[in-house]
């Protein structure tokens, strides 16, 4: 039973739990059992105006933009994508246990590609007023922020005393690189977290969204050997075929992707099923989960829901 | 200044801070400044009896074993390496944001390779008595354990009330896959964490060490498309040329690798430099760090220290 050994680590996510004898209290449902019992209303379809497709030779990465957190950056990114700004550019950096990053590969002092009708100056969008944001808090404490949870479908944090909320740097988070000045990002240089969550970046840089599908195409990119994981040789850069906004893609060519809503009783139950793993493999449920350990499930809509 | 934009994210680790004007309070030192001022006694050399070399076509991965936490498993792994158990086997699994895993690729029901003189049955080593372990606690709270810090050079946790300590599942942690029974691991199936720290595994499975060099060779392996990231096609498995114990390798062929000690005032200062980033790029130092955000520095010994 060799390659199956560690498999059991996450068996709860893949297989129904063992039958419960009649004289036992029924077990709490596993994550998969909860998802299997989900209703169509537990899922949401990505808004094409907030959806980017990063097209690589290896496949498509789907990014959901977060206008509730970074409206100015998201607006600029929509314009840049609509005008084909990134088409033919490259991923220029891959730093182990940290980020990949793409954008204009022009070196310091070389001419840069025009931003077209996108803005060249944006405000820092490190945080936003907590008011007006439907924040769904986790029960667990967090070392980085007074509260953590989910808002608008994104992992986020909140400071009730200060009245602020912000997105969190979890695996898959997409942010806008900046220089020394807080307001020096324009949305052209985008990075994706692919290691241990670097939460020290929270409120120090503008997050614009997160990868909802295709992370495994980014996380395997060879690490650059230059400082900070930049590719030292231009030939090592990973070509970007195109970055397109879903609204610019014919509907028939858009993936039918649904994301689990994070503001429902079902989602709370899913989180609880991860806080305390109840399948037989686990000997000691943790009674805790960190924000960035929660993976938001996605699916293709079942046939019955399809148009 | 394009590809340099996000570079500034971690500039503190790479460049000296700006000169301090005479009328300002000197800044706290950055991580790099602290390391530059380190003394030989701040570093330790790996014990060859606790060092494994995983040899891949792409290079060498160096694992430090943790006999203070898992003496029985470490003893078996030494025997398995000494007898060439893994030579010619393969990495069989790569699951995004979780683990890679190697061992005997034999399917369920197929004959397995003999373990030679290694033991076929080991006790679970999920935790150990806290007594007798020099535990260096972090100042920050942790959601998974009453205390976290470092012990014997490894990221670890402790429950003072229960009198137990255990290694933590941080990036690079190496563990021994098991089946349903707690004592079903024999050290032949080893996994390495290469995503967000899966701390829910702490005290549910035996950790045996951690990767101290070469993580970037494991983290880029293509993700398997089978359940749990197993490679579906045998041709996708990644061949292991050999796994050798350093004591079985001529001294001249061992890398001269030093690891920063974790029980020194310098290490405390390094941790503080990561808890509160003081370079000019950061606008808001976090005042916190999670255990698994702390990377233990390594180096080649400077020429003056070389034999």
Q: What is the CATH number of the domain that holds B124?
A: 2.40.100.10
Q: Identify whether B165 is part of a domain.
A: yes
A269 and A165 together in one domain? no
Q: Identify whether A143 is part of a domain.
A: yes
**Cβ pair A10:B143 closer than 8 A:** no
Q: Identify whether B83 is part of a domain.
A: yes
Q: Is A293 on the interface with B (CB under 8 A)?
A: yes
Q: Identify whether A1 is part of a domain.
A: no
Q: How many domains does chain B have?
A: 1
A207 and A277 together in one domain? no
**Cβ pair B199:A286 closer than 8 A:** yes
Q: Give the minimum alpha-carbon distance from B91 to chain A in angstroms, rounded to a whole number.
A: 10
Domain region containing B54? 46-106+119-258
**Cβ pair B200:A274 closer than 8 A:** yes
**Closest Cα partner for A123 from A191, A194, A73?**
A73
Could you give the ipTM of this predicted complex? Answer: 0.92
Give residue-wise pLDDT tens across range B47-72.
Answer: 999 999 999 999 999 999 999 999 99
A228 and A292 together in one domain? no
In chain B, what residues touch A5 (CB-CB under 8 Å)?
A: 103, 177-179, 184-185, 189
**Cβ pair A142:B143 closer than 8 A:** yes
Q: Is A196 on the interface with B (CB under 8 A)?
A: yes
In chain B, what residues touch A180 (CB-CB under 8 Å)?
A: 8, 280-281
Q: Is A234 on the interface with B (CB under 8 A)?
A: no
A21 and A58 together in one domain? no
- How far apart are alpha carbons B14 and B33 in whole angstroms? 9
Q: Is A143 on the interface with B (CB under 8 A)?
A: yes
Instruction: Supply the pLDDT for residue B13.
Output: 36
Q: Identify whether B82 is part of a domain.
A: yes
Please, what is the average pLDDT of chain B? 92
Q: Give the minimum alpha-carbon distance from B106 to chain A in angstroms, rounded to a whole number.
A: 6
In chain A, what residues touch B180 (CB-CB under 8 Å)?
A: 8, 280-281
Residue of A nearest to B112 (CA): A2
Q: Is B37 on the interface with A (CB under 8 A)?
A: no
A65 and A208 together in one domain? yes
Q: Answer whether residue B193 shows pLDDT above 60.
A: yes
Residue of B nearest to A228 (CA): B7
Mean pLDDT (10-residue bins), chain A, 307 residues:
40 35 67 96 98 98 98 98 98 98 92 97 98 96 97 98 98 98 97 98 98 98 97 97 98 95 97 94 96 97 66
Q: Identify whether B243 is part of a domain.
A: yes
A88 and A225 together in one domain? yes
Q: Identify whether A223 is part of a domain.
A: yes
Q: Are B135 and B158 in contact (CB under 8 A)?
A: yes
Q: Identify whether B282 is part of a domain.
A: no
**Cβ pair A6:B191 closer than 8 A:** yes
A60 and A188 together in one domain? yes
Q: Is B263 on the interface with A (CB under 8 A)?
A: no
Give residue-wise pLDDT tens across range A185-240.
Answer: 999 999 999 999 999 999 999 999 999 999 999 999 999 999 999 999 999 999 99
A186 and A284 together in one domain? no
**Cβ pair B107:A2 closer than 8 A:** yes
A218 and A245 together in one domain? yes
A79 and A25 together in one domain? no
A21 and A85 together in one domain? no
A40 and A58 together in one domain? no
């Amino acid at each position: 039973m060799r390659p199956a050994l560690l498999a059991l680590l996450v068996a709860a996510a893949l297989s129904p739990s063992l039958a419960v004898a009649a004289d036992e209290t029924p077990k709490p449902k596993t994550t998969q059992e909860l998802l299997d019992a989900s209703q169509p209303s537990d899922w949401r379809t990505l808004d094409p105006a907030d959806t980017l497709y990063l097209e690589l030779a290896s496949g498509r990465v789907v990014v959901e933009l977060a206008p509730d957190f970074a409206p100015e950056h998201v607006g600029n990114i929509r314009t840049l994508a609509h005008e084909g700004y990134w088409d033919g550019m490259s991923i220029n950096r891959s730093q182990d246990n940290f980020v990949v990053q793409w954008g204009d590969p022009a070196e310091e002092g070389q001419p840069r590609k025009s931003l077209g009708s996108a803005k060249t100056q944006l405000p820092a969008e490190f945080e936003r007023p907590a008011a007006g944001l439907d924040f769904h808090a986790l029960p667990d404490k967090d070392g980085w922020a007074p509260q953590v949870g989910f808002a608008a479908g994104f992992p986020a944090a909140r400071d009730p005393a200060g009245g602020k909320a912000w997105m969190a740097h979890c695996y898959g988070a997409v942010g806008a690189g900046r220089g020394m000045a807080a307001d020096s990002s324009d949305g052209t240089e985008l990075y994706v977290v692919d290691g241990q969550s670097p939460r020290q970046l929270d409120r120090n840089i503008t997050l614009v969204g997160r990868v909802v599908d295709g992370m495994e195409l980014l996380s395997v990119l060879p690490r650059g050997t230059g400082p900070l994981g930049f590719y030292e040789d231009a030939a090592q850069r990973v070509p970007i075929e195109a970055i397109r906004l879903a609204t610019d893609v014919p509907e028939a060519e858009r993936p039918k992707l649904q994301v689990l809503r994070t503001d429902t009783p079902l989602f709370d139950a899913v989180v609880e099923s991860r806080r305390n793993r109840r399948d037989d493999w686990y000997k000691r449920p943790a009674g805790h989960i960190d924000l960035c350990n929660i993976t938001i499930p996605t699916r293709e809509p079942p046939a019955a829901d399809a148009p």
